[in-house]
Amino acid sequence: MLNRLSVNSLLQSAIALMAFFVVVMLAQRSWDSYERLASTSKMITVADASRFAFTSMHSLRTDRASTFRELKNQGTIQPSVVTYIQKIRDVELPALQRAVDLAETIDFPDKQVLLPELRQLIKSFLALETESWAAFSKPPAERRESLSKDYMDVATRLLETLDKTSSRMFASVKFSDPAIDQLIGMKEIAWIVRNYGGEASLLISNSMVVGQLPPDGPQKYAANVGGTVAAARLRRWPTRRANISARSTPRCATRCSPPCVTARSRR
């Protein structure tokens, strides 16, 4: 049968076959590049959302404590305190909104539950912020009695939900890149230290406002300052870091420069 084929036909068939395999290889590489681009874009979005979430949570903790104290204050708010709280909220609210907007653009576990809850809490929090501004200039007798408690409760729930959302977003890109994993993990450690240190400070400041320490106050303060509570979360970090290094180091990086990558992943 081959004897019946001309040389020209054989050459054309060979060229067509080679062209087919070249196209397949290029298509595979293009798809791999597209997947890497999509993964990188998502990691960048998660990193940005995490950064804005951290900024808003840090400011929200300060706002929560300061507003609670001032609402419990027997006098009207001082101009210097107004300026102080205004600066906090000027940072807090844009960062909070930006974090939620970025979270809307990516997929992560429990998104359908967390985002609606987060938006509802933000709506309630903004209403309480508006009410608190008006209450600052009123005498204590004219302020809504439960305003300070409502502000504290909603701000606390907002903090917790924002923290959960940030953690879920991180989980959606975990093990995609070892450097990103460790950087976001370091951010989590920073928040643990900030959060539990703030809880200890809040316990003292709130007790000074109401005039007494809760019965379990000394134990809670010791747990936060002494690190009993935070240590339980921080203790998981070495194992997490080891898992990141073991599972996430790209094979190409290991193949290209084994000594460097190995040393870097074990630090």
Question: Which residue has better confidence, 107 or 234?
Answer: 107
What secondary structure, in 3-state letters, does 67-126 show? Answer: HHHHHHCCCCCCHHHHHHHHHHHHHHHHHHHHHHHHHHCCCCCCHHHHHHHHHHHHHHHH
How much is the CA Rg of the chain, to the nearest whole Å?
A: 28
Confidence label for 118 from pLDDT (cuts 50, 70 and 90): very high
Is residue 122 domain-resident? yes
Is residue 152 domain-resident? yes
Residue 235 domain boundaries: 177-267
Is residue 183 domain-resident? yes
> Is the domain of 163 the same as that of 222?
no
Confidence label for 113 from pLDDT (cuts 50, 70 and 90): very high
For 65-106, write each residue's pLDDT tens digit.
889 888 888 777 888 888 899 999 999 999 999 999 999 998
For 28-68, write each residue's pLDDT tens digit.
777 666 666 667 788 888 888 888 998 998 899 889 988 98
For 135-184, write each residue's pLDDT tens digit.
888 888 888 989 989 999 999 999 999 989 988 888 888 777 777 777 77
Highest mean pLDDT among 119-123, 206-210, 251-255: 119-123
> Is the domain of 214 the same as that of 128?
no
Task: State if pTM tops 0.85.
Answer: no
Nearest-angstrom CA–CA distance, 21 and 265: 38
The mean pLDDT of 114-120, rounded to a whole number, is: 93
For 150-163, write each residue's pLDDT tens digit.
999 999 999 999 98
CATH number of residue 85's parent domain: 1.20.120.230
